[in-house]
Structure 1
Amino acid sequence: MTGPDRTPWGGGPTRPRRPLGLKGALALLLLWALATLANIFPFLTGGLLLAPLPQALATLILLTCLGIFRWSDTALGMPRPGSLRLFWLPFLYLAALGAGIVALGGLPGALFLGLAAAMVWVALSEELMFRGLLFPALRRRFRPWPAIWLTSLMFGAVHLGNGWAEGLHGLALAQSLAAVSTGLVLLAMRLRSGSILLPMLYHLLWNIGVLGLDHALLRQGGAPGWLADPNPLAQIAVSLALVLPNGLYALWLMRDVGRGALPGDVPGPEAGIGSR
């Protein structure tokens, strides 16, 4: 029988599991960003890395660090039973995206599989980084809502690069604001289910749905991308109109955060526990 202070192989005592401090989380975020920005700014790697290699590399970095340092509070366990029914509105979004793709004639099998293979790494790396590591580090330093908003705003900020490097500043800002709303949904899933496995799955399906619909529109001769209007304000308005109900519902789901009622939360300064 393996004791709590011994390794599973009968070796010496294991190190106790400790939370990741905020400084460490921010340093890891910088390392993660350098890995994932290789696609957005090809000059960083001489064009040697192609999608989805940067996201796969970022995932490997995060998993290696988790294996070495054994940080707690990452919420890698199974979702709490019965929590799926809370997310009926986010899942309706997925159903609407799927219905739109089907209505436009669907996607070729090879395109769908390639899209899914690329998006797996995006979902894994972003959920590990933001909802698995960054949020609990922020939460131990700040009260609930500042930690929630900082995590979601940082998540939105990294999506600025999706169009910024090509000079599509309005589209980049629209996608960034939409990512803030989606980030709130993903964080609500962690907090209410007690696991980041559900956010990983939702993130994967969301990206497949959004990009799949984009490809389906292109195959039908539609305008490239979600937002055809070149006016940045119109792009932002359309983007927010699409995702704002989802984000508002996520805020409602998180209304009891900080009261000890949400399984995915961690002790914060209001409990007398700070972050290193």
Structure 2
Amino acid sequence: MSDTLPGPRLRGALLTLAGWIAITLLSGHVLHPEQQSLQDLATGDIAWQVLAAGLFLIVVLRARGWRNLRLGWPERGTLRLLWLPALMLGLLFGGALLLGLPAPAMMGLLLVNALLIGFSEEVMFRGVLFRGLRSRLRAWPAILLTSGGFGAVHVLNGLVTGDFVASAVQACNAAGTGLLLMALMLRTGSLWVAILYHALWDWVTFLVALAAQARMSQTEVQQMASQGIGLSQALMPLVLVLPGVFYALFLLRRGRAAL
């Protein structure tokens, strides 16, 4: 069992989180001193700041010998639990198809960046932070604190984009998505499932956003940027996330032994 292997204690997990945030923000500021939208960052180049943060985590894991993060194969028979998350991804991708996909090269760049983000954020939160919290807390407090922390850290995107309202909305959605990712990791027994689902979710949502923007006129894009996020724009991502939240609660309730 992976839980019997050496892993992070709470202090080590929090120090790792602080280092991870610092590397992500500082390297991002060096590479992109001007404020940019997350969409521009994802489509402009490889997310080097995310790669740097991921490499930092790999170094920490190797140096500290933390091996209880469930970085192994899913348990037999558990992949069938992915039916609803897979359906959600399929519906989103279908929406992107209807709106019109970007060029293959752009889709490839987005996928690379989504994979980097998925690895870095999952190892940090559902991996290191959750295991650190579990060394001191029961399962549910650790689950909720990890998901809440995952959401809260997205508020820091406002330092990059300059739009803290949009970042707060993103933080709420990320907390909900984080709960689903936690449930998938715990029920399948593999952090890789959460990493791949996280990456694919980010990828298809970026595809939908790009496709929707491509159908808008330049005037409409400028108006949206100047007026900020509206009520409908705030609620739509929440509607997409809610089924995953309810499914996560179902999985965690039915799979108490995995906690």
Same-fold status (TM-score > 0.5):
yes
The one of 98, 115, 119 equivalent to 1:120 is 115
> Counterpart in 2 of 1:172?
167
The equivalent residue for 1:154 is 149
Aligned to 1:104: 99
Amino acid at match of 1:250: A
Deviation at 1:90, TM superposition (A): 1.3
CA-CA distance at 1:71 after TM superposition = 1.0
1:251 has 2:246 as partner: no
* Mapping of residues 15-54 of structure 1, within 5 Å: 18-38=6-26, 42=29, 51-54=46-49
Amino acid at match of 1:121: L
Cα deviation 1:199-245 (Å, max 9, x = unaligned): 11101100100111111111122765xx9984665544333222112
What does residue range 187-266 of structure 1 map to in structure 2 within 5 Å? 187-221=182-216, 230=228, 234-256=232-254, 259=256, 261-262=257-258, 265=259
Secondary structure of 1:18's aligned partner: coil
Is the CA contact (8 Å cut-off) linking 1:184 and 1:250 kept in structure 2? Answer: yes
Give the drift of 1:88: 1.6
Structure 1: which amino acid aligns with 2:8? Answer: L
Displacement of 1:165: 4.3
Unaligned runs of 5+ in 1: 1-15, 266-276
Identity within the alignment, %: 38
1:36 aligned counterpart, secondary structure: helix
Shift of residue 103 of structure 1? 0.6
Q: Which has the larger radius of gyration?
A: 1
Q: Distance in 1 between matches of 2:60 and 2:27?
A: 23
Distance in structure 2 (CA, Å) of the matches to 1:105 and 1:39: 33
The normalised TM-score by structure 2 is 0.84
Q: Which residue of 1 aligns with 2:78?
A: 83
1:113 to 1:77, Cα distance in 2 relative to 1, 3 A: same
Q: How many residues align?
A: 243
> Relative to 1, partners in 2 of residues 1:255 and 1:17: Cα closer, same or farther, differing over 3 Å?
closer
Question: Contact 2:114–2:202 at 8 Å: present in 1 too?
Answer: yes
Q: Is the 8 A contact 2:46 2:112 kept in 1?
A: no
1:247-273 Cα deviation digits (max 9, x unpaired): 12101111156x5x21xx4xxxxxxxx
User: Which moves more between the two structures, 177-186 or 114-123?
Assistant: 114-123
- Cα distance between partner residues in 1 of 2:200 and 2:88: 10
SS of residue matched to 1:160: helix
Q: Is the 8 A contact 1:170 1:236 kept in 2?
A: no
**Counterpart of 1:142?**
137
* Separation of aligned partners in 1, 2:142 and 2:229: 33
Match of 1:181 among 176, 184, 187: 176
SS class of match (2:161): coil
8 Å contact 2:125–2:146 — kept in the other structure?
Answer: yes
Distance 1:165 1:52, change over 3 A: closer
Q: Give the gaps of 5 or more residues in structure 2.
A: 35-40
TM-score w.r.t. the length of structure 1 is 0.80
Measure, in 1, the Cα distance between the counterparts of 2:148 and 2:27.
Answer: 21
What is the aligned partner in structure 2 of residue 268 from structure 1?
A: none
Q: Which moved more, 1:59-68 or 1:200-209?
A: 59-68
1:87-134 Cα shifts (integer Å, max 9, x gaps): 222111110111011111212011001111112211111111111111
TM-aligned CA deviation for residue 70 of structure 1: 1.4
SS at match of 2:253: coil
> What SS class does the counterpart of residue 20 from structure 2 fall into?
helix
Question: What per-residue deviation string (whole Å, max 9, x for no partner) do you get for residues 163-196 of structure 1?
Answer: 4543422211111100001101110011000110
What's the Cα RMSD here? 2.6
